Every structure is written in C-alpha cells, then in structure tokens.
Chain A
Amino acid sequence: DVLMTQTPVSLPVSLGGQVSISCRSSQSLVHSDGNTYLHWYLQKPGQSPQLLIYRVSNRFSGVPDRFSGSGSGTDFTLKISRVEPEDLGVYYCLQSTHFPLTFGSGTKLEIK
C-alpha cells in the first residue's frame, strides 16, 4: 500500500498568515497515463470533507486562489496564504493513483 505521510499533525496559525502542509508518498504517484492523482481536502468541524485541489495543483470550483498546490513524484505541498477563519479545520491529502487509495492522516489548522 502507498503510505501517505502528512505533516505537521497540528498547525497553529495567525489569521492573515501563511502556512504549508506537506504530504509525502512512499512511492511515486505518477500514473501510467501520465497524470499524478494527488488531491487535497478540507474537513471543517461537523462537515463532510470538501475538495480544494485536484491532481496536485488544480483548484476546484469556487476555491479561493489563497489555496495552492505543488509538487511532483512523491513530495507534495499545500500552501494557504492570508488565512481566514473559514479555513480552519483538518486538511487531508489523498492519492488515487494506486489501489488501495490512501489518505494522509490529517493536519489540523487552528488559531494560534
């Protein structure tokens, strides 16, 4: 199975600040079709997860440009700039290149 190592576990941030979350996979996430199926989600308290970034760097519909994704191969990063109160919650990465599909363990973004 592909192990997704997500860091940090907890991320205190000041409103208006910038943060980065790392997600590293135990093997390359480049699919045989040439795409890299690494995605990022935010789960706000009491809600279902919501897609932020798909295939490494593509913002989903309605996602502010404060969110950006980057990376390749086995090393990926989600950056959030100008953090707002609505950004608080738990962030997860997901790889859907290899079965079984696997999530990172989550990063909790909280107010410093």
Chain B
Amino acid sequence: EVQILETGGGLVKPGGSLRLSCATSGFNFNDYFMNWVRQAPGKGLEWVAQIRNKNYNYATYYAESLEGRVTISRDDSKSSVYLQVSSLRAEDTAIYYCTRTTTFDYWGQGVMVTVSS
C-alpha cells in the first residue's frame, strides 16, 4: 500500500524558514518523480515544485511565484522528499501536500504551515 506522510509544519514568523519532510512507503521511491502542492485556506490547489528521479538527474522545477525561496530535494535511501521554504510570508500560509509522479496519483494528508507574527 502506498503511504505518504508529511511532517514539519507549524507556526512560523514572517521572514522565517521551514523544512517540510515527506516520508513514503509501499512503492519503489527511486522510480518516481515527486511534487509538492499547497492550498491556502479556502482556496484552490497550487503546484509548488517537482523533483525528478536519478534517471533524469534529479532535475527540479518550481512555481514562479516561489522560485528563489523554495528548494525541493530528495533522499532515495530514506524514500523521502523535502521542501525548504525561506523568507516566509503570510501568503505562504497553507496546507502543503506531497504527491507522487506526473499524475499526482497518491497524496499525503498534508501539513499545515501558518506564517504569522
């Protein structure tokens, strides 16, 4: 069974940083691209970042609205993907989801990030 679990959310002050983690199991992580998607309270879904697998040289892609403030990375030995977000703003307040591959076929339950002083 595919399982995806995000951790690392919480309350952060504006200007602060956060590292989200996404632990996976139930599939061969090395074979898959991984994504982060976020959803602000009461709003729609916004793609944040994608990291490809070793076959694609771990290429990374970012939403333009966040580029320069986010870094996606992965550790294939831990079947995990990470999202580092810096210079956090109030508008970064959202649930952050980790999803698998280009079809976003499996999603985690999400982790809440609140940016507030």
Binding site for B on A (CB under 8 A): 1, 37, 39, 41, 43, 48-51, 54-55, 60, 90, 92, 94, 96, 99-106
Contacts and interface: CB of A to CB of B under 8 A. Distances in A.
B103 A51 contact: yes
A104 B108 CA distance: 20
- The size class of the interface chain B forms with chain A is 20 to 34
Interface stretch (B7-15, B17-25, B42-50, B83-91): B42-50
B61 A92 contact: no
Nearest to B50: A101
B104 interface: yes
A92 B44 contact: yes
A49 B105 contact: no
Contact of B107 (A49, A55, A106): A49
A101 B108 contact: no
Interface in B4-61: 35, 44-47, 50, 61
10 contacts: A37-B102, A39-B103, A49-B45, A51-B103, A51-B104, A51-B105, A96-B102, A100-B47, A100-B63, A102-B47
A83 B10 CA distance: 38
A50 to B, nearest CB: 7
Given A39-B104, A51-B105, A101 B47 contact: yes
